[in-house]
Amino acid sequence: MTFDELSHQIFKKQSYLCVGLDTDPRKLPAHLLTEPDPVFAFNKAIIDATADFAVAYKPNIAFYEAQGPRGWESLQKTLEYIPGDCFTIADAKRGDIGNTSGLYARAFFDPSAAGLDFDSITVAPYMGQDSVEPFLEYPGKWVILLALTSNAGSADFQRLPTTPDGDVELFEAVMQTAKTWAGADRMMFVVGATQSTVFSRIRELTPDHFLLVPGVGAQGGSLADVSKCGLTESGGLLVNASRSILYASDGTDFADKARAEAQALQTEMATYLGQYCSRA
| Catalytic sites, residue numbers | 93
Q: Does 139 engage in binding with a copy of itself (CB under 8 A)?
A: no
Phi/psi at 222 (nearest 5 deg)?
-100, 120
Beta bridge partners of 189: 145, 211
Q: Please calculate the CA angle 56-170-235 and round it to the nearest 5 degrees.
A: 30
The pattern of x and - marking residues 101 through 120 that bind a copy of itself according to CB under 8 A reads x-xx-xx-----xxxx----
Among residue numbers 220 through 279, which ones bind a copy of itself (CB under 8 A)? none
Closest CB 27 distance from a copy of itself, rounded Å: 11
Q: Is the CB of 10 or the CB of 39 nearer to a copy of itself?
A: 39
Question: Which stretches of 103-251 are assigned E, i.e. beta strand?
Answer: 120-123, 142-148, 187-191, 211-213, 237-241
Binding residues for a copy of itself, total number by CB under 8 A: 66
- Choose one: 4-12, 152-160, 204-212, 271-279; the region binding a copy of itself (CB under 8 A): 152-160
DSSP code at position 5: H
Among residue numbers 85 through 104, which ones bind a copy of itself (CB under 8 A)? 91, 93-101, 103-104
Closest CB 10 distance from a copy of itself, rounded Å: 25
Q: Does 80 engage in binding with a copy of itself (CB under 8 A)?
A: no
Q: Which of 158, 196, 227, 234 binds a copy of itself (CB under 8 A)?
A: 158
3-state secondary structure of 232: strand
The pattern of x and - marking residues 199 through 228 that bind a copy of itself according to CB under 8 A reads ---------------x----x---------
Q: Distance (Å, rounded) from C-alpha 199 to C-alpha 113?
A: 38
Q: Which of 12, 31, 70, 279 binds a copy of itself (CB under 8 A)?
A: 70
Q: Does 126 engage in binding with a copy of itself (CB under 8 A)?
A: yes
Closest CB 158 distance from a copy of itself, rounded Å: 7
Q: What is the largest CA-CA distance in the chain?
A: 60
What Rg do the C-alpha atoms of the chain give, in angstroms?
18
Contact 220, 152 (CB under 8 A): no
Closest CB 1 distance from a copy of itself, rounded Å: 23
Closest CB 219 distance from a copy of itself, rounded Å: 8
Question: Which stretches of 141-266 are assigned E, i.e. beta strand?
Answer: 142-148, 187-191, 211-213, 237-241
Q: Distance (Å, rounded) from C-alpha 68 to C-alpha 152?
A: 29
Q: Does 30 engage in binding with a copy of itself (CB under 8 A)?
A: no
Q: Alpha carbon of 100 to those of 2, 104, 189, 224: distances in Å?
A: 26, 6, 22, 40
Q: Which of 2, 62, 137, 253 binds a copy of itself (CB under 8 A)?
A: 62
Q: Distance (Å, rounded) from C-alpha 257 to C-alpha 247?
A: 8
52 Cβ contact partners less than 8 Å away, ≥ 6 residues apart: 13, 262, 263, 266
Q: Does 63 engage in binding with a copy of itself (CB under 8 A)?
A: yes
Which residues contribute to the site for a copy of itself (CB under 8 A)? Answer: 22, 24, 60, 62-63, 65-73, 76, 91, 93-101, 103-104, 106-107, 113-116, 124-132, 146, 149-158, 160-166, 170, 173-174, 177, 214, 219
